[in-house]
Copies of this chain bind each other. A is one copy, B any other.
Amino acid sequence: VRSILVECVHRRNTMKPKIKDELLRPHERIDDLQLNGLYIIQDPSGFCFGMDAVLLSDFARPAPGAYVADLGTGTGILPLLMSAKTKNTRFEAVEINSHVADMAQRSVALNGLQARIRVHAMDLKDAPAKLGKSVFDYVVCNPPYRKLGSGKTSTDALQATARYETNCTLQDVIIAASSLLQNKGRMAMICPCDRVVELFASLCAHKLQPKRVRMIHSFVDRAPKLMMIESIKSGKPFVQWMPPLVIYDQDGSCSRELNRIYGREEA
């Protein structure tokens, strides 16, 4: 089956109906990630990955051969993208919703990445007990970072789980990450800027020292809304700030940096 799938992948969108039927459930579709011939299964009526995950997959830089955990993987977008951007990395992808974890698992199979990415339908709070403490080199997390009751609450339960702290808080994520990581292991996450003070405090309280920060601005003259933070377990103080990541040029077109991250050729 794997070779057929790989062949499908390389022929792009020419997947045989039979294979497609085996892998897809009602309402689902296969989306081309336009990176190394990767595809992902998503349910457009549920939660689809957004730009956050793509930006984080660029910011997170595990070393070649790193053992990586993704906390709250959703449909598996982060390990799928990161597997293409890093060498010999292996991923344990944790997702609390078993329906979504199943989609992620099928996406991994679709891309023939079973040897590098394992999907676990589990609460990330149980991850250290089940996957091992102090064994990971790197943790990534695109967490549900909106406090309950803030912003407009999604009426869809699945979207709510992905965006709001219904099943876990930022602190739960940080506690799990700290426990999973070995000393000097690193964690990369994305978070709304307005929560930076509590986030830094929580990271430090769990031995994760923020070491690298990149702010995300929609336009260069606008306030940032999101930030990406890489922390080192038992690291020393001092933060390295990166140049701002600006999404759009003043004329509304995608910035050069965004095109680079999406792997698009420049005109």
Contacts and interface: CB of A to CB of B under 8 A. Distances in A.
Nearest to A210: B197
B195 A238 contact: yes
How many copies of this kind of chain does the complex include?
A: 2
A220 interface: yes
Nearest to A257: B221
Nearest to A215: B215
Contacts of A213: 196
Is the contact region of chain A dominated by helix, strand, or loop, or is it mixed?
mixed
B242 A223 contact: yes
A239 B194 contact: yes
Contacts of A220: 220, 244, 246
Interface residues of A, number: 29
Contact of A200 (B197, B209, B223): B197
A256 B211 CA distance: 32
A193 B237 contact: no
Nearest to A203: B197
A204 interface: yes
A-B pairs with lowest CB-CB distance, top 6: A223-B241, A194-B238, A193-B241, A221-B243, A194-B239, A223-B243
